[in-house]
Amino acid sequence: MTNADIIRAHYDASDRGDVDGMLAPLRADVRWTEAAGFPYAGTYVGPDAVVENVFSRLQDDWDDYTLAVDEVVDGGDTVIGIGTYSGTYKRTGRFFAARVAHVWRLEGGEVVAFEQFTDTEMVSRATRD
């Protein structure tokens, strides 16, 4: 299995709502960075911190939050996922869609770092009261 296949499997698990499958490739000390300006901005260390600060909050705060991945670029130890986020913020009832790129860094078949790049203004518009 290539590193790109590992990331595709993560995205497939995300599509199924399979959190364990999403976490499977993450190393115990993974550094997961959500973009500045994103509602869950910051760098979280370890799978439990990712679940608590990102995955659970997305599920709690949004209706039909999805990531549609258009392309996975295989750069060996660096893999890029390109797609579109969309969803409706529960508190405001506002929908958003924004392009996104994920930069995945892998060592020995495990994700050691993740960084998100997205149009945070599009997300912010949906979350503003």
Q: At 83, is the pLDDT very low, low, confident or very high (cuts 50, 70, 90)?
A: very high
Domain ranges within the chain, ordered by starting residue: 3-127
User: CA 102, 107, 110, 113: dihedral to nearest 10 degrees?
Assistant: -40
| Strand arrangement, sheet containing 42-45 | 42-45, 26-34, 110-118, 95-107, 78-89, 62-75
Asked if residue 129 has pLDDT above 90, the reply is no
pLDDT mean over 91-114: 98
Q: Model confidence at 68, in pLDDT bands (50, 70, 90)?
A: very high
Asked: is 3-127 a CATH 3.40.630.30 domain? The reply is no
Q: What is the pLDDT of residues 43-65, one digit of tens each?
A: 999 999 999 999 999 999 999 99
DSSP state letters, 74-129: EETTEEEEEEEEEEEETTT--EEEEEEEEEEEEETTEEEEEEEEE-HHHHHHHH--
Q: What pTM was computed for the model? A: 0.95
Interval 6-30 mean pLDDT: 97
